[in-house]
């Protein structure tokens, strides 16, 4: 298997797809969810997320629809597609291979469990 060179910088895409694999969400909600699930490690910026969502939609990994919340505020929900799920699955494999390789260099099994 070939590791995508952009995996390091591209892990944000994987995380977004993972969130949407669990349920449809709107942008602002993704930022909050990512922050919570990672124990405040990820503070994804709006300026990073929205262009990324637009790109993923163009690539047919996501579809979107607008929905009016109780308070009459309009939110844009995103839904993962079959193509998006396939991409997520591939990225997860790459992530495992990459972290495993880094841990090998950092000292093998002794490091990862330290």
Q: Does 111 bind DNA (CB under 7 A)?
A: no
Q: Residue 63 half-sphere exposure, CB side, CA atoms within 13 Å?
A: 4
Distance CA 64, CA 91 (A): 22
Pick the closer one to DNA by CB: 51 or 107. Answer: 51
The one segment of 23-31, 82-90, 91-99, 106-114 that binds DNA by CB under 7 A? 23-31
Q: Does 41 bind DNA (CB under 7 A)?
A: no
Pick the closer one to DNA by CB: 22 or 43. Answer: 43
Residues in contact with 33: Cβ distance below 8 Å, sequence separation at least 6, in sequence order: 19, 25
Using alpha carbons, select from 91, 111, 114 the residue that is nearest to residue 101: 111
Pick the closer one to DNA by CB: 26 or 95. Answer: 26
Applying CB under 7 A, which of residues 2, 39, 40, 71 lies at the interface with DNA?
71
CB of 37 to DNA, least distance (A): 16
Q: Does 101 bind DNA (CB under 7 A)?
A: no
The phi-psi region of residue 24 (left if phi > 0; otherwise alpha if psi is between -120 and 50; otherwise beta) is beta
Order of strands, sheet of 74-80, starting from the edge strand that comes earlier in the sequence: 25-26, 74-80, 62-68
- List residues binding DNA (CB under 7 A): 5-6, 8-13, 26-29, 43-48, 50-54, 69, 71-73, 75-76
């Amino acid at each position: 298997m070939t590791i995508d060179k952009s995996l390091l910088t591209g892990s944000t895409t994987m995380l977004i797809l993972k969130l949407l694999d669990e349920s449809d969400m709107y942008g602002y909600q993704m930022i909050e969810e990512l922050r919570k699930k990672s124990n405040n490690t990820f503070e994804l910026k709006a300026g990073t997320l929205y262009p990324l969502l637009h790109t993923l939609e163009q690539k047919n990994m996501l579809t979107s629809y607008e929905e009016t919340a109780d308070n009459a505020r309009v939110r844009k929900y995103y839904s993962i597609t079959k193509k998006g799920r396939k991409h997520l699955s591939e990225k997860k494999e790459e992530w495992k291979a990459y972290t495993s390789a880094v841990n090998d260099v950092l000292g093998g099994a002794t490091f990862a469990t330290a």
